[in-house]
Amino acid sequence: AGSDVEPQKDRVVTEEEWLRKWEMGNTGFHKEQGHPLFQKYLDALLNGRNGLRIFFPLCGKALEMKWLADMGHSVVGVEVSEQALKEFFTEHSLPYCEELVPEIPGAKMFQSTSGNISLYCCSIYHLSSSIVGKFDGVWDRGALVAVNPSDRQRYVSLMITLMEKNSSYLLVTVSYDPSKHKGPPFYVPESEIKSLFGLEKLDDFSDRHRQWGLDYFLEVLYILKFVA
């Protein structure tokens, strides 16, 4: 698998590039209708439990955050684009307040007035369990595949520290020929995903991927269980 990812291993996407994507509306990764794998595997995330704390790394303006909050769960997200977070609240007509995060210089937190959606505007690497607490579940769609390959271990190590015992981590990765597209989204080989519990493939091949010169583009869902 090492040779598979060789073309991408040194690729770096800066925070400024991500901000520019939001400014220019170059956000093909945002799913207007939500993600079909989320709906299909929601039970695996919740395990019949109520009042969970669910984390959305690199959340953008993901629709699923509103769905979970409406079901009575608490949602915490992190995203570098303030524009994306404000659009989330505006598009769902959710009143919110904005406050500084004392532990993180320059960071802001946008919170719904109902209190069950808290979105941090900062680098994910500035978060810790002492700031955001721990989580019963994670919806990681477009996050692991977006972080720079050289930061992947750092990212995963952080995520593990944010997980409660008996939590569920739904991870969506993408599978394609990495010699034909430089990313993001980056190709993360199955050999890199540990504690694999379940695997589902969804053919999400579209004209956008064809323009990248790819022959196939699959989304892969892993269900990882953090057991006590």
User: What percentage of the chain exceeds 90 in pLDDT?
Assistant: 68
Q: Is 21 marked as a binding-site residue?
A: yes
154 is annotated as contributing to ligand binding: no
pLDDT at 111 over 50: yes
For residue 201, pLDDT beyond 70: no
Residue 212 labelled as part of a binding site: no
- Measured in whole angstroms, the distance separating CA 140 from the mean position of its chain's CA atoms is 4
Q: Calculate mean pLDDT across residues 140-147.
A: 94
Q: 225 a known binding residue?
A: no
Instruction: Note the pTM of the prediction, 2 decimals.
Output: 0.89
Q: Is 79 annotated as a binding residue?
A: yes
Residue 23 labelled as part of a binding site: yes
Look at residues 177, 181, 187 and name the one whose alpha carbon lies nearest to residue 220: 187
Q: Higher confidence at residue 201 or residue 157?
A: 157
* Domain containing residue 181: 6-26+33-226
Would you say 27 is a known binding-site residue? yes
Tally of domains in the chain: 1
108 annotated as a binding-site residue = no
CATH code for position 100? 3.40.50.150
* Distance of alpha carbon 25 from alpha carbon 45, whole angstroms: 30
Q: Name the residue among 121, 84, 116 with its Cα closest to residue 99.
A: 121
Q: For residue range 52-98, what is the model confidence (pLDDT) as tens digits?
A: 999 999 999 999 999 999 999 999 999 999 999 999 999 999 999 99
Tokens read off for 195: 């504690």
**Sign of torsion over alpha carbons 22, 28, 29, 33:** positive
173, β-bridge pairs = 220
Is 123 marked as binding a ligand? yes
Cα separation, 134 vs 159, in Å, equals: 10
Is 180 annotated to bind a ligand? Reply is: no
Is 141 annotated as ligand-binding? Answer: yes
- In a domain, residue 217? The reply is yes
Q: Is 87 annotated as a binding residue?
A: no
Query: Is residue 1 one of the residues assigned to a domain?
Result: no
* Domain presence at residue 105: yes
Least confident of 42-56, 69-83, 133-147, 209-223: 209-223
Q: How far apart are CA 213 and CA 7, in angstroms?
A: 15
Say if residue 15's pLDDT is above 90. yes
Question: Rounded to an integer, what distance in angstroms lies between the CA atom of residue 122 and that of residue 106?
Answer: 8
Whether the CB-CB separation of 39 and 6 falls below 8 Å is answered with no
